[in-house]
Each structure stands twice: as C-alpha cells, then as structure tokens.
Structure 1
Amino acid sequence: MFEAKGISMKLANDRWLFRDISLSVEKGQVLILRGPSGAGKTTLLKCLAELVPYTEGESTLHGKKASDYGIPTWRSKVMYVPQRAAIHPGTPLDLFEMAKKFQSQKGKSFGDPVSFKKK
C-alpha cells in the first residue's frame, strides 16, 4: 500500500539527518518509529507526507508517486498528524476524523489512513 525507498535528508552543514530509509506499510499495519530526541523521526514523517523536501528517495502509495496524485491529493492521503495537536484534545486519529469533516474535504475519498506512530 505505502512504500518508501531510499529516503535521505542532508542538512545544510552537509551532515545526514537520516540516510537510505526504506519501509513498507500494508493496510492494517502500524509502523512505530523509535529513537532519541533529535534523531529525525518527525522530519522523516513530514518528508513522507511531502511537507518537507528531502535529498534522495521516493515514496509511493498504491504504486503511484506524489507527483502522480498531485501534492494536495497526496497530502490528503498520506497525512502527518502531530503526536500532540496543539489545538485539539484527543488522539491523532481523533484529529484526522475531525479534519475529514471540514468543508474543503467534502466529497474526497480518504480510504484507510496510512498509520505511522512515533514513539
């Protein structure tokens, strides 16, 4: 369903934040990212949602790249939901369910969200 291959991010100081990350998530699976603070977990998730540009690699959803969907559609299908939403009480899934109800999202088919958990 969702696949990322070779995702890498080089920082301005020529240091790699992460390099050659590959993962695959099928419907119903949950992926947990663990690591120390500052390791790049949140940045990686934002890269997968095409919110932050990365240096190398590509992600696909159902075999199609973000450019095939168009960035706005990709971002509605591969969503980054913060662990602690500043303006919404409840879980990230609660926030996702609320956002689906917004007028701008009416008529869009979301299917099942791709699940990523940061730990």
Structure 2
Amino acid sequence: MTNTATSIEDLARTSAESEMAHVVRLAKERGLDAEEICLLAEVLARSGSILSQAGRITADLASTGAPTSLSTLLCPLYLCGFGIAVPKLGVPGRPAGGIDVLAQIPGYRYRLDPREVHAIIDRCG
C-alpha cells in the first residue's frame, strides 16, 4: 500500500479535516494513480449519508464547476426521462454547480434535513 493510500484509509477512519488536508497535499506533491483515485472516490462516497432508492436505478452527473454548467441542470432531466432516479444533492460552499446555481434563485431552498430529502424523493423521484 502506498503512503497516499494509507493516508486515504486514515481519512476513511477519522473523517478529520487534517487527514483530508494531508491527502490533498500528497495529491498535489505526487499526484494520484488510478487505484488511489478509486480508493479516494469510494471513501468520499461512503463519508456521508446514503439514500436508498429501494432497487431503483439512480444516477447523477458531477458538475464541471463552471458557473454556466448547464449539463448539471439538464442531464438529470434526460436521465429522469429514461426512468432513472436522480436525487440531486449538493454540498453548500463547494465549487459552483447546479445546486449552487439554483440557490441563487430567491426563495430556492437548498438546505434540507434528511426527513425533507426523503419526502421530496418519495414525492418526485
């Protein structure tokens, strides 16, 4: 196991900001190989709450981060058209994406508690 992979595993165990900062520093200094990128993606995917869709196929499209990233807004509509559930979630304060763009609309609520998220997914898919 590489030093970077060990640091990613440490991040998985602690979820500490200092561990994330260490992983970022190593990535900047050395880069990440394919296995390390995969490990980091899996650790980050398991780091928060996971919403089950009871056997439904789900998908999402990560934002490009550009302020005019319409792909983040339009692709979920196309995916839904194919019967795929797209629970579009975002993290406030992260690079600009679809949720950040929508948050600029007066009255748009982007902070929801888990109960509200489940109610909306049940109602809208």
Which structure carries more helix by proportion?
A: 2
Bigger relative contact order, structure 1 or 2, given CA contacts below 8 A and separation 6+?
1
Which structure carries more strand by proportion?
A: 1
Relative to the length of structure 2, the TM-score reads: 0.33
Relative to the length of structure 1, the TM-score reads: 0.34
| Bigger radius of gyration among the two | 2
